[in-house]
């Protein structure tokens, strides 16, 4: 059922009980979701808030208020959420009685975000004003209007917080404009620019891995590290996002935020404390140290791709230009591979290879740290020795593996690689919250560490924009790659020029 359609009848028992109960009034906290019936809300945000509710992480008096343009009643909205969101709740975590109670704290208001008069329905009596978290799960083009209308309606106070979903702009100028507009109504410490990759357990574990283990820090630099690979591969196509995606592409959608944030955590210097600004200061220094790409660098060190229809065995998959709402002559990239350099002493001459794409062979996100090989090997047929490698898997599994050399069983001294593995899933019996739940709780508790600061966002765009401009000047079509493969052959050649290979090819 499309969100614009009226919800179906025949409510579940849990839904009927929730509807029959009293409407939730303002308590101590309102989580206000603009775009409350959109994909992000029912697939990610509400399942994440349900998990927090299930584990009693939401304080009593919390209300979740969905906003949308549909002229629904509260009962209509609850019916819609009841029919959509449970499918996105972690297996085994759904409890009908808890779901009923969760639906009881949901409410709905019909609000057109572009119409100032509609915001009057959000006002509360002066003696019952809750703290408000505004989650803007809408197109970024609406962010400025929403901020202005909230302010004009008197709905922002010193306790308010606003969460901004990516992408924040399409280039540096638009990102600066959004930041400036939001900054007129919210102080910087009230703004939470969310990147769900920063909520992943393994990503947050990188800080402890790096700065909590003395064995790594002395080696976490040139010349002991040969190269770093960061891959975020998706097996799905653009699906229902084609209308948005064709105006963005993989560089804007993934590299400018997710991959650069991962690069920052891998490459940053130790912060002086875990204070949010101390951590974000170090990430900012990395972004400002990225070597700017000139046109020759863009031509040599970047690869754009676009998936075409699959061939051979397995399920058939359409090409990108055959997807619904994609122009048949589209030049939007669905794949990017590039080589980046960081101009500082720690990372001198260490290449960072970033890669992301849709319709790739498997869904996989990982960071590969290749250490420098032995300068001389005493073992036969092991010229220089095989380098050690740290493999940090973010999805679908979360694990950290260190590849080392050991003796092959039997006579002789034949080395072979083995992996020391830390299975993060079983390393602790504590529940592992999903990324959105963890980040939403950070917003509620006022923790900014895992959110982008304004100057971070603008520094990322400052580095990405010359690549976009270079592609435009070169005027080349993205290279074709078959759906279900690892991208264009040119991405392998990008690595081969450094005598390296992507992880799955090595």
pLDDT in tens, 279-317: 999 999 999 999 999 999 999 999 999 999 987 666 788
pLDDT in the model for residue 409 = 82
Decide: 383 and 377 in contact? Cβ < 8 Å. yes
Neighbours of 310 (CB within 10 A): 17
Is residue 68 scored above 90 in pLDDT? yes
How far is residue 487's CA from residue 480's CA, in Å, rounded to a whole number?
8
Residue 358 annotated as part of some ligand binding site: yes
How far is residue 439's CA from residue 451's CA, in Å, rounded to a whole number?
9
pLDDT in the model for residue 129 = 86
Residue (of 349, 339, 341) closest to 224 by Cα position: 349
How far is residue 474's CA from residue 331's CA, in Å, rounded to a whole number?
13
Residue 196 annotated as part of some ligand binding site: yes
Q: Do domains 13-194 and 200-505 have the same CATH topology?
A: no
pLDDT in the model for residue 155 = 95
Residue (of 133, 124, 131, 103) closest to 33 by Cα position: 133
The tokens for 485 are 């493969």
Of the candidate CATH numbers 3.20.20.300, 3.40.50.300, 3.40.50.720, 3.90.1150.200, the domain formed by 13-194 belongs to 3.40.50.720
Burial of 289 (0-12, 13-18, 19+ CB in 10 A): middle
pLDDT in the model for residue 380 = 66
pLDDT in the model for residue 382 = 59
CB-based contacts of 32, cutoff 8 Å, min separation 6:
65, 67, 122, 132, 133, 134, 135
Residue 200 annotated as part of some ligand binding site: yes
Percentage of the chain modeled with pLDDT above 70: 95
pLDDT in the model for residue 449 = 93
Is residue 189 scored above 90 in pLDDT? yes
Residue 234 annotated as part of some ligand binding site: yes
The tokens for 75 are 């009962």
Instruction: Determine how β-strand 335-340 pairs with β-strand 302-308.
Output: antiparallel
CA distances from 337 to 294, 299, 357, 457, 481 (A): 16, 12, 9, 21, 13
pLDDT in the model for residue 4 = 43
Is residue 13 scored above 80 in pLDDT? no
pLDDT in the model for residue 384 = 46
Residues labelled catalytic: 258
Residue 408 has what DSSP assignment? Answer: P
Is residue 166 scored above 50 in pLDDT? yes
For domain 200-505, give the CATH number: 3.30.360.10
Instruction: Determine how β-strand 364-371 pairs with β-strand 225-233.
Output: antiparallel
Instruction: Tell me whether the omega of the peptide bond preceding residue 459 falls within 30 degrees of 0, making it cis.
Output: no
102 phi, psi to nearest 5 deg: -65, -45
Residue 445 annotated as part of some ligand binding site: no
Is residue 238 scored above 80 in pLDDT? yes
The tokens for 20 are 């029959």
Confidence (pTM)? 0.90
pLDDT in the model for residue 1 = 39
> What are the tens digits of pLDDT across the range 415-440?
778 888 877 767 677 778 888 999 99
Look at the alpha carbons of 478, 480, 482, 485 in this order and tell me if their dihedral is positive or negative: negative
Is residue 450 scored above 80 in pLDDT? yes
> What are the tens digits of pLDDT across the range 259-284?
999 999 999 999 999 999 999 999 99
Instruction: Map out the domains of the chain as residue ranges.
Output: 13-194, 200-505
pLDDT in the model for residue 420 = 86
Residue (of 152, 165, 498) closest to 349 by Cα position: 498
Q: How confident is the model at residue 8 (pLDDT cuts 50, 70, 90)?
A: very low
Is residue 10 scored above 60 in pLDDT? no
The answer to which of 67-71, 97-101, 293-297, 386-390 has the lowest mean pLDDT is 386-390
pLDDT in the model for residue 407 = 81
Is residue 442 scored above 80 in pLDDT? yes
pLDDT in the model for residue 399 = 86
pLDDT in the model for residue 381 = 63
Q: What is the CA radius of gyration of the chain?
A: 24
């Amino acid at each position: 059922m499309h969100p614009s359609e009226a919800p179906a009848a025949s409510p579940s028992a849990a839904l009927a009980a929730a509807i029959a109960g009293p409407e939730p009034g303002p308590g101590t906290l309102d989580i206000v979701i603009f775009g409350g019936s959109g994909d992000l809300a029912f697939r990610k945000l509400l399942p994440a808030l349900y998990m927090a509710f299930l584990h009693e992480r939401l304080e009593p008096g919390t209300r979740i208020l969905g906003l949308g343009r549909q002229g629904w009643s509260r009962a209509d909205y609850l019916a819609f959420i009841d029919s959509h969101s449970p499918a996105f709740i972690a297996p085994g975590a759904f409890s009908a009685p808890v779901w009923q109670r969760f639906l009881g704290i949901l409410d709905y208001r019909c609000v057109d975000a572009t119409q100032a008069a509609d915001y009057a329905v959000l006002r509360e009596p002066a003696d019952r004003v809750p703290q408000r978290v505004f989650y803007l799960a809408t197109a970024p083009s609406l962010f400025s209007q929403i901020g202005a209308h909230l302010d004009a309606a008197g709905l922002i106070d010193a306790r308010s917080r606003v969460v901004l979903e990516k992408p924040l702009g399409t280039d540096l100028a638009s990102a600066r404009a959004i930041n400036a507009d939001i900054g007129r109504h919210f102080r910087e410490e009230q703004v939470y620019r969310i990147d769900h990759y920063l909520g992943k357990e393994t990503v947050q574990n990188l800080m402890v891995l790096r700065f909590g283990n003395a064995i790594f820090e002395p080696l976490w630099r040139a010349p002991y590290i040969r190269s770093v690979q960061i891959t975020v591969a998706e097996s799905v196509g653009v699906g229902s996002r084609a209308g948005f995606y064709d105006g963005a592409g993989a560089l804007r959608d993934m590299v400018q935020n997710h991959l650069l944030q991962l690069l920052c955590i891998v490459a940053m210097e130790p912060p002086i404390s875990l204070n949010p600004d101390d951590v974000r200061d170090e990430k900012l220094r990395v972004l400002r140290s990225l070597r700017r790409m000139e046109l020759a660098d863009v031509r040599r060190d970047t690869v754009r791709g676009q998936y075409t229809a699959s061939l051979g065995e397995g399920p058939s998959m359409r090409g990108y230009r055959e997807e619904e709402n994609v122009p048949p002559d589209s030049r939007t990239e669905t794949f990017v591979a590039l080589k980046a350099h960081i101009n500082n002493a720690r990372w001198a001459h260490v290449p960072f290879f970033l890669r992301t794409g849709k319709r790739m062979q498997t869904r996989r996100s990982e960071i590969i740290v290749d250490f420098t090989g032995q300068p001389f090997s005493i073992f036969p047929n092991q010229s220089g020795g095989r380098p050690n490698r740290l493999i940090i898997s973010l999805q679908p599994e979360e694990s950290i593996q260190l590849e080392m050399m050991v003796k092959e069983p039997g006579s002789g001294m034949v080395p072979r690689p083995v992996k020391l593995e830390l299975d993060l899933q079983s390393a602790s019996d504590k529940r592992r919250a999903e990324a959105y739940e963890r980040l939403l709780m950070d917003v509620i508790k006022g923790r900014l560490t895992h959110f982008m600061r304004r100057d971070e966002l603008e520094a990322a765009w400052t580095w990405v924009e010359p690549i976009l401009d270079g592609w435009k000047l070169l005027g080349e079509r993205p290279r074709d790659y078959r759906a279900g493969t690892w991208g264009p052959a040119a991405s392998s050649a990008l690595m081969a020029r450094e005598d390296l290979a992507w992880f799955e090819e090595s």
